[in-house]
């Protein structure tokens, strides 16, 4: 009797992956990856990180009616600032957008990059064509910022990953006004002997579920051939998200396909957003090997079961 083969990952790759490569971009560029999705009515939008031939990144917009087949607009929607305060700290590009809807407006946290190091920046938009830069909301040496979709205890909440001499961990911070942030503390750290033993960082804006805030994060394991980036999950308490309710023991997506293992940065799957459909399907959009953009799907209930470690792995 043959044993039934189990699927390799909880998230199932779309058979048409990659969703977007540089051949799909209507202007010259090096790569496209790390896009954040939103759904406006029946239309899907992807705010894309595109690396230009000059070497710095900017944002473009793609649209779809099914969440799989996208058309990229001919003109980028947000370029690095060239003057003022933002111009100083975006001279090396803008990277890895994450969009969160709050009170009818979309707030986009992204990394402003310069010779002074990465900083978390915040912009807002209603249509993903016109953006207003709100503020630079971190000190140098911080990235992977994601914003919760509602206030908790009367305050805005974000996750981020400071980069310093310490362990690469996910931190949580609070704000009254989206400008000044504080009450910061470590939330999630690497685990020795696990797939996320080297570094962890927030990936997807937290998703509210009846089990808690679901955070899809990236974990890094250092190997003899370099780092390997995988996707994992954790659940945070709904009323006090500084409390970790559960954390997956095994990754839910690992780099296995050629387009995930071969590229500018090999062995990387790196999510920047997900959409939960009415039927409970989660569409997660992720960059692969810093070279293309892909999508994978999973049932929300399956993600929760693996996060709660109810499935033997």
Tens digit of each residue's pLDDT (9 = 90 or more) over 166-218: 789 999 999 999 999 999 999 999 999 999 999 999 999 999 999 999 999 99
Structure-model confidence comparison of residues 311 and 14, the more confident one:
14
pLDDT at 310: 74
pLDDT at 313: 53
pLDDT at 127: 95
Q: Is the pLDDT of residue 16 over 70?
A: yes
CA–CA separation, 256 vs 307, rounded Å? Answer: 21
Closest CA to 204 of 292, 286, 122: 286
Tens digit of each residue's pLDDT (9 = 90 or more) over 220-279: 999 999 999 999 999 999 999 999 999 999 999 999 999 999 999 999 999 999 999 999
At 6, is the pLDDT very low, low, confident or very high (cuts 50, 70, 90)? very low
Averaged pLDDT for residues 124-148: 97
Average model confidence (pLDDT) across the chain? 95
Quickly list H helices, 29-158: 84-89
Residue with tokens 């239309």: 43
The full set of domains in the chain, from first to last, is 15-307 (2.115.10.20)
At 1, is the pLDDT very low, low, confident or very high (cuts 50, 70, 90)? very low
pLDDT at 9: 87
Averaged pLDDT for residues 84-108: 97
Averaged pLDDT for residues 3-32: 87
Averaged pLDDT for residues 94-117: 97
pLDDT at 2: 46
Tally of CB atoms within 10 A around 243: 13
pLDDT at 31: 97
pLDDT at 5: 41
CA trace torsion 260, 265, 269, 272 (10° rounding): -130
């Amino acid at each position: 009797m043959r044993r039934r083969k189990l699927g390799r990952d909880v998230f199932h790759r779309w058979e048409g992956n990659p969703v977007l490569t540089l051949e799909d971009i209507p202007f010259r560029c090096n790569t496209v990856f790390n896009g954040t999705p939103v759904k406006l009515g029946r239309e899907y939008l992807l705010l894309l990180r595109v690396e230009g031939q000059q070497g710095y990144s900017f944002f473009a917009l793609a649209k779809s009616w099914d969440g799989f087949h996208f058309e990229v607009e001919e003109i980028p929607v947000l370029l690095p600032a060239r003057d003022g305060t933002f111009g100083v700290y975006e001279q090396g590009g803008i990277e890895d957008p994450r969009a969160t809807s709050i009170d009818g407006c979309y707030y986009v946290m992204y990394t402003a990059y310069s010779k002074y190091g990465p900083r978390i920046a915040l912009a807002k938009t209603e249509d993903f064509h016109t953006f207003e830069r709100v503020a630079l909301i971190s000190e140098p040496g911080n990235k992977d910022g994601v914003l919760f979709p509602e206030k908790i205890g009367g305050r805005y909440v974000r996750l981020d990953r400071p980069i310093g001499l310490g362990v690469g961990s996910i931190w949580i911070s609070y704000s009254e006004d989206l400008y000044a942030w504080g009450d910061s503390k470590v939330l999630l750290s690497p685990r020795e002997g696990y797939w996320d033993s080297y570094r962890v960082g927030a990936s997807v804006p937290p998703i509210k579920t009846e089990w808690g805030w679901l955070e899809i994060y990236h974990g890094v394991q250092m190997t003899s051939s370099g780092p390997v980036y995988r996707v994992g999950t954790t659940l945070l308490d709904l009323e006090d998200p500084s409390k970790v309710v559960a954390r997956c023991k095994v990754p839910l997506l690992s780099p296995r396909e050629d387009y995930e293992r071969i590229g500018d940065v090999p062995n990387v799957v790196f999510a920047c957003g997900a959409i939960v459909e009415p039927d409970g399907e989660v569409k997660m959009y992720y960059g692969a090997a810093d070279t293309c953009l892909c999508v994978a799907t999973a049932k929300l209930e399956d993600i929760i079961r693996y996060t709660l470690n109810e499935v033997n792995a």
